[in-house]
Structure 1
Amino acid sequence: MTTNTTDAENRAAEDATERESNEKTTGAGMTRRRTLQLGTLVGAGSVLGVAGIGADAAAASCDRPDSVVHLDYDDYDSWEEIYRVSNGDRDNMTIVSDPTASGESALQLRVNENQHWGVSTHYDFEGGLFELTGRVSFALNTNWTMGGRNAPSNCRLWNCAIALGEGSAGGGDPDGTNGWSNRMYVTDRGADPNGPFHLLSNTYHMGNGDGTGDHTYLIDGEEYAQGSPEIEPGVWYDFEYYVCVNTVTDGEANADGIVRYWLDDELIFERENFKFTEDYDDNIIDTNGPVGHYGGRYTAPQNLYAYYDDHSMALNGEFEFDSC
């Protein structure tokens, strides 16, 4: 692959500098003019989700998922036709012709030397979702490095599921009504600063009130980790994520929210006891998408580049599921 070459100690680093905007309409217009949805063209605006029904009812339906969306970057003149921006510099993202995982185009996301933010982007779901399954191919540039400090370093690569609000990111305290999130990071914890690297799942959820999110390093021996995958710079990986909100009984959240990750079809993370929400109207899954954010109180040691291709989403369901 040819690429552009131009725990406790980390939790303090996830500070307010990475707070997500809770505005749902900032950034470029979301035309989605060539997004395929089960073979039909999706019109302007965000994809319609399912709102106003309980999670149990949604899970019991035979019509799952509601729809499948595949974003073929070959079909877009600008990535801003697909995603909006909440943080960072939109100039840090571009469509490139090399490298790609498939087709003729991929996204390149840059985090500049001595900076935190690349850019945080969002594909929004109008009305919200109870379940989201996503797939994306990603790669790190060939000379990606995370050296320069004694403690481990983290860089966020993907917003897996966010309910927008002040509880969803740096310094936030999710209370069941004010946002929550799950994000995937690359980390040099337990790794050489020049790789191969490991992955990290970070979740803001009810009961995690220290304002930093709940970290699970995907390393053998860590609770909920299902292995210790290694991420080599310059290699494409297929990442799949599944997030399902918890059920609610008499206005109280049940501890049954789910997050799962797969890497190249191997289950690498599974946790099924999250409390995300007590509000099905305004605090379910609003958005997901590519992001680059390095550290919090430490910055990128050099220009870093991440690449993304073939972003697909199953809305309110999974790509494959058993018949009723």
Structure 2
Amino acid sequence: MGPDLSRRRLLGYALGGAVGLGATALAKDAQDDRREAQSTTGTTWTTGTTWTTETTGTTETTDPIIDDVELSIGGLRRVGPFTYEVVFDYSLPSAAENYESEFMQGVTNEGAPNAFEGTDGSYVVTWKPQDDDERLVWQVRTTDNSVDALVQVATPPSEAVQAEWTLSLSELKRRFDRFAPTELFVTFDASNSQSIRAFGPNGKAKLTALSSGLVSYVRNGSWWRVATDLDELLLLNGSDRSGRENFSMRRYDFLVGNSPYNGMQRMRHRLKEGYHQGTNVFYFFPNHGYGTPGLDRAQPDAVYSRFYVRFEDEWSQPTPSDTCKIYWAGANLSAGDAGQSGEEPTGDNGWSVRVFTRGPDDGGSVSLGTYVYHLDQSGRFGSLWPWPDEISIGDWHQIDAYVKLNSVTDGSANADGIVRTWLDGKRQEDREDVRWRTTKALGFDRIGPGSYWGGSEVSPRDNELVYDDHQFNVGHDHL
């Protein structure tokens, strides 16, 4: 049995736990969130010369010959994989007129300042350390008849600074939840990276997984590495195994938590011109108490779901061969390879039910249907079951789906599985004879928005669609 949380309202989307291919979805831990809110203030660039930072590494300053000469590290933040911005503060005696300023150690894009604005101030320099032991050391010498001083200030070693700007999966989740974006923009980039861009009253953030395996989080200009990699994320979630050797075939699965919908947050997907990939945003049931990945009787057998979708005004599907999957009404992709990519179900190796659109887009609308991997499909690929009504481009539409897996008797699949769908409250299909499984241990392992263009076709332009108010109810035929 799953937890006593049968009904979920999922949008606003709360990023849970991890990101990347088969990322972990964890429920928001309010207690941890309060603890972090009390212990950190967030990293913000407040003015051109002042910094508030979460970094806690200490600085080292030599004892000045004259007490009036002071140098310090005013702030330090990471802005890229191996790039930091360092704020140096200085206080110089008004009596001194001549200064010699230089970096004694460290690689920077800029040289040390040769002139200072007033006796007290700050300046920013970009530091690109070349090894773990490197420090950025700034030295100022004053030479004057009345003042003679030599002062140095140094950052911590690069290795220590890097550790301060590395997030665990749980820390990432808490930061993203506290950030509370109102819009998520999910996209697959030409550089073989997948990202979620988040926008809201607290600024903007970006979460990216690269083909190199690096996962990063950028918020309001500050950059963190996330302490995970693609292989760990794959294994962690029992995600589909196809394409591990060929990154170009991978589709990241950014999974969501279950923070309550507040009527303000939405999620945008972009399918780039010339590419298949949008992305998947799954609610992964095993991460919420519904059994384990693969085959497990504790997984749900039936789920009713609803979401709202809008195809943006420039959406283009010019021919009948242009198909785009937009939603997973249910699937199990962790039990085996079936359910996608032309892998036929055998009763215990996976299944899927997806909503798709198809061109042509004449008259400002496209057709809809259900794409189903099941035991009685004809050939390698799933069955396409068209709906009678079309969906208009540029308008919000409500889509509902109810999927109930078939019963099993002595290892045989009974023809009593259900697929029901609705568009704007109007019934589109009602099938009660579908067969997916030969074992009761094959249930739902995921559900949620997912965009992918094709078949063999690719998106003819940068197409965008927007999702909102995603809800589902486990074990019921209604919300």
CA-to-aligned-CA distance 1:97-143 (integer Å, 9 cap, x gap): 7xxx9822200011001100011231111222110000111110111
Q: Distance in 1 between matches of 2:198 and 2:308?
A: 15
In structure 2, relative to structure 1, the CA distance for the partners of 1:76 and 1:296 (3 Å cut) is: farther
The answer for the alignment partner of 1:109 in structure 2 is: 269
Q: Aligned-pair distance for 1:300? A: 0.6
Structure 1: gaps (5+ residues): 1-24, 36-72, 219-227
Q: Give TM-score scaled by structure 2 length.
A: 0.46
The answer for the alignment partner of 2:28 in structure 1 is: 33
Amino acid at match of 2:194: R
Q: Aligned-pair distance for 1:153? A: 1.1
Q: How does 1:153-232 map to 2 (within 5 A)?
A: 153-164=322-333, 165-188=336-359, 192=362, 195-208=364-377, 210-218=379-387, 228-232=388-392
In structure 2, relative to structure 1, the CA distance for the partners of 1:304 and 1:121 (3 Å cut) is: same
CA-to-aligned-CA distance 1:161-199 (integer Å, 9 cap, x gap): 10122111121110100001100011115x52x631110
Aligned match of 1:123 in 283, 290, 313?
283
Larger Rg, first or second structure (1 or 2): 2
Q: Distance in 2 between matches of 1:152 and 1:78?
A: 36
Is this contact kept in 2: 1:162–1:168, CA < 8 A? yes
Amino acid at match of 1:297: S
1:77 correspondence with 2:180: yes
Q: Distance in 2 between matches of 1:136 and 1:94?
A: 21
The answer for the alignment partner of 2:396 in structure 1 is: 236
Q: How does 1:128-167 map to 2 (within 5 A)?
A: 128-147=299-318, 151-164=320-333, 165-167=336-338
In structure 2, relative to structure 1, the CA distance for the partners of 1:125 and 1:117 (3 Å cut) is: same
Q: Aligned-pair distance for 1:245? A: 0.5
Is this contact kept in 2: 1:144–1:233, CA < 8 A? yes
Q: Aligned-pair distance for 1:264? A: 1.3
Q: Distance in 1 between matches of 2:27 and 2:425?
A: 28
The answer for the alignment partner of 1:265 in structure 2 is: 425
SS state of the match for residue 33, structure 1?
coil
In structure 2, relative to structure 1, the CA distance for the partners of 1:167 and 1:213 (3 Å cut) is: same
Q: Distance in 2 between matches of 1:205 and 1:140?
A: 28
In structure 2, relative to structure 1, the CA distance for the partners of 1:175 and 1:305 (3 Å cut) is: same
Aligned residues: 237
CA-to-aligned-CA distance 1:279-314 (integer Å, 9 cap, x gap): 112x11111111111112211111011111111110
Amino acid at match of 1:109: H
Amino acid at match of 2:459: A
Q: Aligned-pair distance for 1:94? A: 4.1
Amino acid at match of 1:186: T
Q: CA RMSD in A?
A: 3.0
Q: Distance in 2 between matches of 1:197 and 1:240?
A: 17
In structure 2, relative to structure 1, the CA distance for the partners of 1:217 and 1:102 (3 Å cut) is: farther
Amino acid at match of 2:465: A
Q: Aligned-pair distance for 1:90? A: 3.2
Q: Aligned-pair distance for 1:270? A: 1.4
Q: Distance in 2 between matches of 1:253 and 1:244?
A: 13
CA-to-aligned-CA distance 1:26-52 (integer Å, 9 cap, x gap): 5433222179xxxxxxxxxxxxxxxxx
SS state of the match for residue 392, structure 2?
coil
